[in-house]
A and B are shown apart, each in its own frame.
Chain A
């Protein structure tokens, strides 16, 4: 259960990215909209949606939209989710967004994230405007009927509230330390 309700302010973070730089919420003050997306390498739901998220970032980049991916999984449970594998995966896919490692899992806990992927989309005041899944069909891009994320981006860019502000996140559970 997310700790943030629609309208709540974004929670700050300071995390190492696969570019070996530290990224903080304030670094993106120049972006109109900011999507914090809890993510990982191993999850089939992440992988199924991945190309659509890359495409959405590219489509909306020149409209001031920035996605930030955060991997909070315990790499001791899934080696493929460790920092070196994050670097490799981001490079292979040509990620057009930062990919950050929440090694302490504090940011996932602060947001109340439970799944990968799980999207928290913030408006220009960094208030939560949409929370949930990218769309309504992880398996077949051609069969998508509801493009939740894109609809929310369009609404917020137009200064409106998204018609659908929350959907249940669909994906793998975040792998917490034991």
Chain B
């Protein structure tokens, strides 16, 4: 499984999000390495199709696929709790579902 963690350090939640990703992977017994990619420029954001920090991709698939109109750039990304509240962090459940979906035989 290929796990990518893309972040921009201008957004302060990336360390918490990375810790959360690793925690969920450990809970699910997934020991794949996490490829950490720092996005530093607007050009880099466009090249990486980076819609905000943090972004997690499992086997190339965004765990929360952005809208087609989403703009690539150096910004913080909006996620949502199950109750609809906005949060800068991907939830444990969102990460877990994406990891488990990637584990399912295709």
Listed in ascending order, the chain A residues whose CB lies under 8 Å from chain B are 42-45, 47-48, 50-51, 77-78, 138-139, 170-173, 175
Contacts and interface: CB of A to CB of B under 8 A. Distances in A.
Contacts of A50: 86
A48 B88 contact: yes
Contacts of B76: 43-45, 171-172
11 contacts: A42-B75, A42-B78, A43-B76, A45-B88, A50-B86, A51-B85, A78-B75, A138-B87, A172-B75, A172-B76, A173-B10
Given A170-B12, A172-B11, A173-B10, A48 B75 contact: no
Interface of B: 10-12, 71, 73, 75-79, 85-89
Contact of B73 (A44, A45, A77): A77
Nearest to A175: B75
Contacts of B89: 139
A45 B71 CA distance: 18
Contacts of B86: 44, 47-48, 50
Contacts, number: 37
Contacts of B85: 48, 51
A135 to B, nearest CB: 15
Nearest to B69: A79
Q: Determine chain B's interface SS by DSSP, over half rule.
A: loop
A175 B11 CA distance: 12
B66 to A, nearest CB: 13
A47 B52 CA distance: 15
A47 B13 CA distance: 14
A98 B11 CA distance: 27
A77 B75 CA distance: 10
A171 to B, nearest CB: 8
Nearest to A172: B76
Contacts of B12: 170-171
B87 A139 contact: yes
A77 B87 CA distance: 21
A27 B54 CA distance: 41
Contacts of B79: 44
Most buried by B among A42, A43, A48, A138: A48
Contacts of A44: 76-79, 86-88
A138 B75 contact: no
B36 to A, nearest CB: 21
A140 to B, nearest CB: 9
B65 to A, nearest CB: 17
